Amino acid sequence: MSFRKDYFEHSERVDYSNPEYGTGLDFTEKTSKNIQNLFKDILEEGMHGLCFSMYEDGQQPGDIISEEQVRRRMKIIAPYTKWVRSFSCTEGNEFIPKIAREFGIRTLVGAWLSDDPEKNKNEIEALIQLAKEGFVDIAAVGNEVMYRKDLSEDELLDFIDQVKKEIPSTIPVGYVDAYYEFTIKPRITEACDVILTNCYPYWEGCEMDYSLAHMKSMFYQALEAGKGKKVIITETGWPSKGESFRQSHPSEENAMKYFINSQIWSKEANIDIFYFSSFDESWKVGAEGEVGAYWGIWDKNEKLKFSETKSLI
């Protein structure tokens, strides 16, 4: 997940007056304590899915993560989610779907593809092996590869084809990217069994009051591109701290509001959403700035955020 200037080139103008794009709960009369209590109630009801945050403070991709660390974090999130999404199949990420099974959690397992041919080979082989061993419910071949321009369309399509041929045919195969990519790259859309789309109103500078409507518009654009294929929102969320982006403002209260609205819509409309993310991760500051480190429901020390009674102003 990263800032994309091309969001503005490809996103459709959202008609917020369209009742199909309802703006969610009216928080005008709700106090901070009301919002906190509602957040807690909805979290405890459980959600469809969570993106698994792998790294503790001081760790980053490339570090080898232990089975014990994965199991500790999985135990924390297990009471709240039916599914978990992983982003890689190496460097300890392979433990995520295996340990998820221990907790009765279903898995969307991703192979991380980049411009490194050797690493890509290892990722694809590891994804295929995990699928053959029965640890994969949905296979994701790559994440935002087209955005980063790490591979050509033909190269990505070859990897998708390889995975589809070598894993059990009962496992759906897809590719993860921003919602608009499935409109502008129809060959990739056609190759996917399921459309796996990232939807971030925050990165389009959307005001909090219209964020749910904006996220719905992203989903419906991907749905239209998929022409009847199932669409899963593989990432959406709102940061609790950091820099504002245009009309998008991080805060604990806004993060709770977005979580509440997205989860209510997920349940009411039967839309599968993997919320981003489970834990804050400090390494994400990078190109995203300070805001990158504050997308978690739990903080970097694995403590649940937003749960204490306090002023959020």
Closest CA to 101 of 139, 137, 68: 137
Spatial distance between the Cα atoms of 82 and 242, rounded to a whole number of angstroms: 30
Burial class (CB in 10 A: 0-12, 13-18, 19+), 108: buried
- Predicted confidence at residue 19, as pLDDT, reads 58
Gap between the Cα atoms of 297 and 307, Å rounded: 10
Identify the residue whose tokens are 């969320």: 237
Task: Report the residue count for the chain.
Answer: 313
Which parts of the chain fold into alpha helices (H)? Answer: 7-10, 32-45, 67-77, 95-102, 117-132, 145-148, 153-166, 181-184, 186-191, 211-226, 252-269, 285-288
Tokens at residue 142, please? 């790559």
What's this model's pTM, rounded to 2 decimal places? 0.94
Distance in angstroms (rounded) separating the CA atoms of residues 195 and 172: 10
3-state secondary structure 200-232: CHHHHCCCHHHHHHHHHHHHHHHHHHHCCCCEE
pLDDT digits (tens, 9 = 90+) for 212-254: 999 999 999 999 999 999 999 999 999 999 999 999 999 999 9
What's residue 182's pLDDT?
A: 98
Q: Report the C-alpha gap between 256 and 105 in whole angstroms.
A: 24
Residue-level pLDDT at 309: 46
Give dist(CA 276, CA 218) in Å, integer: 16
pLDDT score of 179? 97
Instruction: Note if the bond before 32 is cis, omega within 30 degrees.
Output: no
- DSSP-derived secondary structure letter, 59: -
DSSP class per residue in 96-136:
HHHHHHHTT-EEEEEE---S-HHHHHHHHHHHHHHHHTT--
DSSP letter (8 states) at residue 90: S
Q: What is the pLDDT of residue 313?
A: 39
Quote the CA–CA distance of 52 and 148 in Å, as a whole number: 21
284 to 11, 119, 251, 269, 279: CA distances (angstroms): 25, 21, 17, 32, 11
Give pLDDT tens digits along the chain (313 positions): 544 445 545 555 556 556 566 779 999 999 999 999 999 999 999 999 999 999 999 999 999 999 999 999 999 999 999 999 999 999 999 999 999 999 999 999 999 999 999 999 999 999 999 999 999 999 999 999 999 999 999 999 999 999 999 999 999 999 999 999 999 999 999 999 999 999 999 999 999 999 999 999 999 999 999 999 999 999 999 999 999 999 999 999 999 999 999 999 999 999 999 999 999 999 999 878 999 999 999 999 999 999 764 444 3
